[in-house]
Structure 1
Amino acid sequence: MSDTFTHRRVADVPHALDDPQALAAALGGRTPALFLDYDGTLTPIVPRPEDAVLSDAARAVVRRVAAVLPVAVVSGRDRPDVERLVAIDGLIYAGSHGFDVEVPGGGTLENPVSGDWSQTLDAAERALHAGLDAIDGAQVERKKFSIAAHYRRIADADYPAFRAVLDEVGGRFPDLKEKPGKKVFELQPAIDWHKGKCVLWLLQALDLDRPDVAPLFLGDDVTDEDAFRALQTVDGGLGILCADPAEDPARETAAAFRVDDPDQILTLLARLAGLAEAGGEEDAP
């Protein structure tokens, strides 16, 4: 992919619900294929990742849109974890930032970078626990293809010690790379793979790289910017950011549209479902 992408301040990105005609024009009559992040997109951000439970109302909206449009959930969580939380059959689930993909019917798709990283990750996990367990509020979350070090619940005064541990462990494991997120850093295999590469690969693997399909990635985190940038390279591809510009006025994004919060994500999904159910005869989402 090209390294030249368009970024704008979040406040300058058009709101997908306030300007539905602009979104309809961007879709250009194509059928949306939806790629959905989980935490912060389908559910609000919570202090502990295990508490991010999908509401019944949200599940109903996702189930409705998945009945009429292709839907994949692409999450940094382990695939079995996000599959359990969403609990909707018939979706494509991509966990660990796209390292682990399952398609309806229980089949898996081996992506170009699948491999066994367990020994390296096991050793790095032990090192992180050794350094972080003494810091109140720090949380080490082991996943199949990565390790997340959460600092949302630590005191500001403890952040330098937290950061020092991450730097020390990262230096000991050059085969791993650090990926920042919202109050979290993840150690992942140091290979050229992320949510954006996963989405482009899924479009090909699922025969969705067609001129009549508009791939949309809906996400909130900085890790989702990889997908927003990737879709700038696809005709009809659109990133939709879930973020209130008032919360981070300096943030820039490669997304084409935005909404403010997960509730508005669900409203947008319901509108897209309604458009598909009507056979595309409505004027706008």
Structure 2
Amino acid sequence: MVQKREALELPSALEQLDELKEQFKGKTPAIFLDYDGCLTPIVQRPEMAILSDEMRSALQDLATVTKVAVVSGRDRRNVEELVKLDNLYFAGSHGFDITGPGGMASEPGGAKAALPALDKAEDVLQEKLKGVEGSLVERKRYAIAVHYRNVADDEVVQVRKVVDEVLDTMPELKIGHGKKIYELKPNIDWHKGKAVMWLMEELGLDDSKYIPLYIGDDITDEDAFAELQGKGIGVLVGEHDEKTAATYRLERVDDVRVFLEDLTDTIKQKSNG
């Protein structure tokens, strides 16, 4: 049974660092992170979410001492281009498309069968939402994000109506929710949590030596937090509109950077000791 709490009830990962590290139990944390709202602040449009030099440096340093993966709802190619680091693993479209060092390239969720439906849905959404000012239909390889952050409050219901109409005619797809987006995804039992566990197994990160630690901010990250209960550690950045299965919390993106830098130091000390 997954345990959930209000975000503000969670202990701070920074204030309770010693307690958090006790849960490593002598293991090395393998780090999995969302991109938007975790590595960069939430912004008005997706292309404005630019990774800071300081955060890139923190990720690069961390990846020299353990496995690091960015697990994003973004298209995998897009998030790779934003991060610009070749020593990380990237799981795009909520884990349907995964690449990494050494030529790793896999699409483990079995979503290829949904590509025709996604193509058709994209065309219909573009046509039906072109009159809704501020709406944005963003196609990814295995998902379509319908952004309504810049839509007038009284028109958001129209956006949802159009999304529901499309889904009613396409059983191959299902809806996902995020911060000011509706997302159409393959109707398959695959999500960020399953992608994390697939990577742990694929990379040979045996649970006797490694523990997964996932950092994310959005409702889509809850699948990973739930998957890791009893197996790893979940850290929520900020809060969202639902209760969370995470075990710790960080307030903002800057805290994520500080936390990653501390993890790097901790792992280095362990390897040197």
Aligned to 2:263: 272
Query: Could you tell me which amino acid in structure 1 is paired with residue 189 of structure 2?
Result: D
Contact kept, 8 Å, 1:179 with 1:185, in 2: the verdict is yes
Unaligned stretches of 5+ in structure 1? none
Structure 2 counterpart of 1:242:
237
Specify the alignment match of 1:259 in structure 2.
250
Structure 2 residue ranges without an equivalent (≥5): none
Once the 2 structures are TM-superposed, how far is the Cα of residue 105 of structure 1 from its aligned partner? 2.8
- CA distance in structure 1 between the partners assigned to 2:181 and 2:101 by the alignment: 31
Distance 1:254 1:135 in 2: 35
Structure 1 CA distance for aligned equivalents of residues 248 and 150 of structure 2: 31
Residue 262 of structure 1 deviates from its aligned partner by 0.8
Residue 189 (structure 1) aligns with: 186
Q: Which residue, 27, 35, 38 being the options, matches 1:38?
A: 35
User: Displacement of 1:62 after TM fit?
Assistant: 0.6
Task: Say if 2:58 and 2:257, in contact at 8 Å, map to a contact too.
Answer: yes
Match of 2:134 among 132, 137, 140: 137
Cα distance in 1 between the residues matched to 2:145 and 2:107 = 23
Give CA deviations for 1:51-94 in whole Å, capped at 9, x if unaligned.
Answer: 11101111011111111111011111111110010001111111
Secondary structure in structure 1 of the residue aligned to 2:134: coil
2:109 and 2:230 map into 1 onto residues whose CA distance is 20
User: Which one of the candidate residues 195, 198, 207 is aligned to 1:198?
Assistant: 195
Instruction: Name the aligned partner's letter for residue 191 of structure 1.
Output: I
CA shift for structure 1 position 140: 0.1
| Residues in 2 aligned to 1:62 and 1:267: alpha-carbon distance in whole angstroms | 11
* Mean Cα deviation higher: 222-231 or 126-135: 126-135
Q: Secondary structure at the match of 2:212?
A: strand
Cα deviation, residue 116, structure 1: 4.0
Specify whether residues 10 and 274 from structure 1 end up closer, same or farther in structure 2 by C-alpha distance, changes over 3 A only: same
Instruction: Give the SS at the match of 1:35.
Output: strand
Structural mapping, 1:20-99, within 5 Å: 20-99=17-96
Give the superposition deviation at 1:19.
Answer: 1.2
2:207 to 196, 206, 210: 210
Given that 1:29 and 1:280 are in contact with CA atoms closer than 8 Å, whether structure 2 keeps it comes out as no
**1:7 aligned partner:** 4
The AA in structure 2 aligned to 1:139 is L
Query: Once the 2 structures are TM-superposed, how far is the Cα of residue 130 of structure 1 from its aligned partner?
Result: 1.4
Say which SS state the counterpart of residue 112 (structure 2) adopts: coil
Q: CA deviation at 1:106?
A: 2.9
Q: After superposition, give the CA deviation of every residue in 1:231-258 in whole Å (9 maximum; x if it has no partner).
A: 0142xx01111015xxx6x631100111
Would you say the 8 A contact 2:80–2:90 is kept in 1?
yes
Q: Secondary structure of 1:46's partner? A: coil
What is the deviation of 1:20? 1.3
Cα separation, 2, equivalents of 1:11 and 1:110: 36
Amino acid in structure 1 at the alignment position of 2:267: A
Aligned positions, number: 273
**In the TM superposition, what is the alpha-carbon distance from 1:148 to its structure 2 partner?**
0.5
Q: Deviations over 1:257-282 (max 9, x none)?
A: 11011110111000000111222679
Partners of 2:5 and 2:243 within 8 A in 1 = yes
CA distance in 2, matches of 1:182, 1:200: 24
Structure 1 stretches (4+) deviating beyond 4 angstroms? none
- Equivalent-residue separation in structure 2 for 1:209 and 1:7 (angstroms): 27
Task: Decide whether aligned partners of structure 1 residues 46 and 112 sit closer, same or farther in structure 2, where only a CA change above 3 A counts.
Answer: closer
- Counterpart amino acid of residue 249 in structure 2: R
Q: Which amino acid aligns with 2:237?
A: C
TM-score (structure 1 length as normaliser): 0.92
What is the distance in 1 between the residues matched to 2:147 and 2:36? Answer: 14
TM-score after normalising by structure 2: 0.96
